[in-house]
Amino acid sequence: MSLEIPEVVINRLPVYARALTELAQRGESVVSSQALGELLDVTPAQIRKDLSYFGRFGKQGRGYNVNGLLSTLREILGIDRQWRLCLVGVGRLGQAIAEYGGFGPQGFEIVAAFDANPELIGQEIGGSPVHPIEDLERYLHSHRVDIGIVAVPAPAAQSVVDKLVAGGIHAILNYAPITAHVPRDVVIRHIDPVLAMQSMTFYIKRGEPGGK
């Protein structure tokens, strides 16, 4: 894993790419760091600094070429490709993930699902066949899968993460409310609405000192 570019910078690039996609769809050909910053509620200086890690874009006072910067960012991030996902856990949450319409158009395809519940095995969920969880590692050794999605209950999550890693997966999207451990060459992102809300209550509690 590269260490020279801060992870927070990498995390912001997809947001820039999404905004540029929208500008391109509106037919805009040039955007200033000022205008892009206003769209995204970040400072123009931050945008210029983030992009400077990847070379020189735009000219002072002339703005960025929307399509040029977009295709460079897409290539840097690898979002110009198709990525194959496996989904582990197809309970209520996993089913909602499998049926979510937002992955496909962005190049993310769920190719297989896994669950421990025998009643679900063999069903199709969101177009993916459900396999027994015992087959996960074997499946990963014989099929190309780029990203594993973990949507099992908390007590089972670390063991699923370990199986994904053992199967050669290097990127994991974890919906289970645990801090999962992975080796240094595996990248993991957590989707956790409770933690997100708990980081907001700090602010609303302070904003309203007397409570309501």
Which residues contact a second copy (rule: CB under 8 A)?
1-2, 7, 10-11, 13-15, 17-19, 39-41, 76-79, 81, 83, 85, 92-93, 95-97, 99-100, 102-103, 106, 108, 144, 146-147, 170-171, 173, 177, 179, 181, 185, 187, 189, 191, 193-208, 212
Q: Which two tokens stand for residue 78?
A: 């690898």
| Pairing between β-strand 83-88 and β-strand 147-150 as defined by DSSP bridges | parallel
**Measuring CA to CA, which residue among 43, 19, 42 is closest to residue 31?**
19
Contacts for 212 with CB less than 8 Å, ≥ 6 apart:
none
Count CA within 13 A, CB hemisphere, residue 105: 5
Q: How far is the CB of 147 from a second copy (least distance, A)?
A: 6
Q: Considering the complex, state which of residue 133 and residue 180 has its C-beta at the smaller distance from a second copy.
A: 180
Q: Considering the complex, state which of residue 134 and residue 166 has its C-beta at the smaller distance from a second copy.
A: 166
Q: How far is the CB of 192 from a second copy (least distance, A)?
A: 8
Q: Considering the complex, state which of residue 142 and residue 201 has its C-beta at the smaller distance from a second copy.
A: 201
Count CA within 13 A, CB hemisphere, residue 93: 17
Q: Considering the complex, state which of residue 5 and residue 45 has its C-beta at the smaller distance from a second copy.
A: 5
Q: How far is the CB of 60 from a second copy (least distance, A)?
A: 25
Q: How far is the CB of 61 from a second copy (least distance, A)?
A: 25
Q: Considering the complex, state which of residue 120 and residue 173 has its C-beta at the smaller distance from a second copy.
A: 173
Q: How far is the CB of 175 from a second copy (least distance, A)?
A: 8
